[in-house]
Amino acid sequence: MSRFDEWAGRSDVSIDTIANLLEKTSSDHGRGPVEGFHRSSSTRRLECGGSSGEVVSRIGREQGGALRWIDPRHEALGFAAASGGAAVALATCRAIASKTPGKPVDACPWNIEALPVEDVDASTGMPTLEEMEDWLRKYSPEPVDSAWVEAGLSTETWLTCPQNRQTRVRARAWAMWTPREKAGTSAKPLFLAARGWSELLRLDPTEAWRDRALSRDRERPWPADAKLVFSPETSAILARMLATTTHRPGASLGTPVGPGWVLTARPDDDTGSLFGSLVDDAGFPSTSRILADGHHVTGDWGGPGSLRRASFRDSPEPVPVSLRMHPPRLDPPKRSVWVTRIDLHPAGDGWMAELHGRQYPDGVAFRPSWMRLRPQRLLETCLGGVGPARSSHIGMTTPALVFDAWSFKAE
């Protein structure tokens, strides 16, 4: 173990100490209740790029704390965050809170009592830089424009109303590659993410490379009136955008959906899913929900248990996580387009989408095509799924989704 490893893995204060500081901060605040949070994380990343194949490391440690408070009508939010050990960070947050106008009355919009949870990942081992380099070299396509792999370990402690105390230790591993395409051709990065290094070792990105390679040299015009089969990677992007829109808090329950739109939110799945956790990022218990059953919209992903922080500097916000599509399995449609890339841009009541695809399964690639996509039309034309379900780095697990032929003008 290197000297850096020694200190990177060493916690300067115990979770108990942090929890006590949070408790003291809340009781001493004097302006009303607050929600307190502290995170300490270690990360190491290896990056390789360019024609030289130079490998560069980035390792470090970051600590920070945050306080949150809410006004009497639950309409306005106060949030303070500061970096540093728990004592410094929370003292700074208190100073910020004391200067913010308005008197808070609540720390969170839901007065939920929860049992204390200590949610610790089963495998929290960090890889050595040598192990990371071996892995990166094994799975990087040739040639690569840039690639990196990162492993991280975080310890989080928080105190919410009414004095719920939770702790969580999480391991994460991420990787990204941007393959070098031929001159004048754009490349889209490919991401991979897993719950810790040992989980990353189980994944194999090579199938995605094969898909990318087969989709080059696109010349033929996009066929009209063909069923569309989205690769698991593109299905995840599309399904997550649809879920974000269609199942947002306050969604219209009962809206009709196609037989393939069977969706659950499983934020409480703590058995290895990327974002699964017994509690959310505000300390509230996570619960599963059925969002659609192949006939209608039946639920939304918001409320307590859905709050997530982008970092300790960000206030927890409701977001859809750990979503799973369970479409009925279909045989691959005979005449269909295999969509290998999708770029979605918000436009009016839906999106403008640029789609890349090829004849399914290994046929010629088509010229990229633009389409206007409307959420309701997409939901109604989702027929089912093909092949095994895959987990993506954006928290969506889905097989390749099959959509009925859309009416669009190919360009």
Binding site for another protein (CB under 8 A): 2-4, 6-7, 10, 12-13, 47, 49-51, 54, 56-64, 66, 71, 73, 75-85, 87-89, 91-92, 94-96, 99-102, 145, 181, 183-187, 313, 315, 343, 345-348, 352, 354, 370, 372
Write down the least CB distance from residue 181 to another protein, Å: 8
CB of residue 241 to another protein, shortest distance in Å: 14
Q: Which of residues 58 and 210 has its CB atom nearest to another protein in the complex?
A: 58
C-beta of 145 vs 380, nearer to another protein: 145
- On whether the CB atoms of residues 220 and 367 are closer than 8 A, the answer is yes
Minimum CB separation of residue 324 from another protein in Å reads: 27
Taking the least distance from each CB to another protein, the nearer of 96 and 169 is 96
Residue 206 phi, psi (nearest 5)? -65, -30
We find the least distance from the C-beta atom of residue 229 to another protein, in angstroms, to be: 24
Amino acid 286 reads: S
Q: How far is the CB of 398 from another protein (least distance, A)?
A: 24
List the one residue out of 338, 335, 368, 328 whose CA is nearest residue 235.
Answer: 338
Integer Cα distance of 283 and 38 in angstroms: 12
Amino acid found at 329: R
Pick the closest to residue 344 from 266, 224, 257, 230 (CA basis).
Answer: 230
- Closest to another protein by CB, 137 vs 345, is 345
Residue-level length of the chain: 411
How far is residue 158's CA from residue 38's CA, in Å, rounded to a whole number? 6
Q: Which residues pair with 111 in a beta bridge?
A: none
* Residue 166 C-beta-side C-alpha neighbours within 13 Å: 27
Q: Structure tokens of 318?
A: 């409701």
Q: Between residues 59 and 169, which has the closer beta carbon with respect to another protein?
A: 59
Q: Which is nearer to another protein, 180 or 296 (CB)?
A: 180
Nearest distance from residue 4's CB to another protein, in Å? 4
Distance CA 308, CA 300 (A): 16
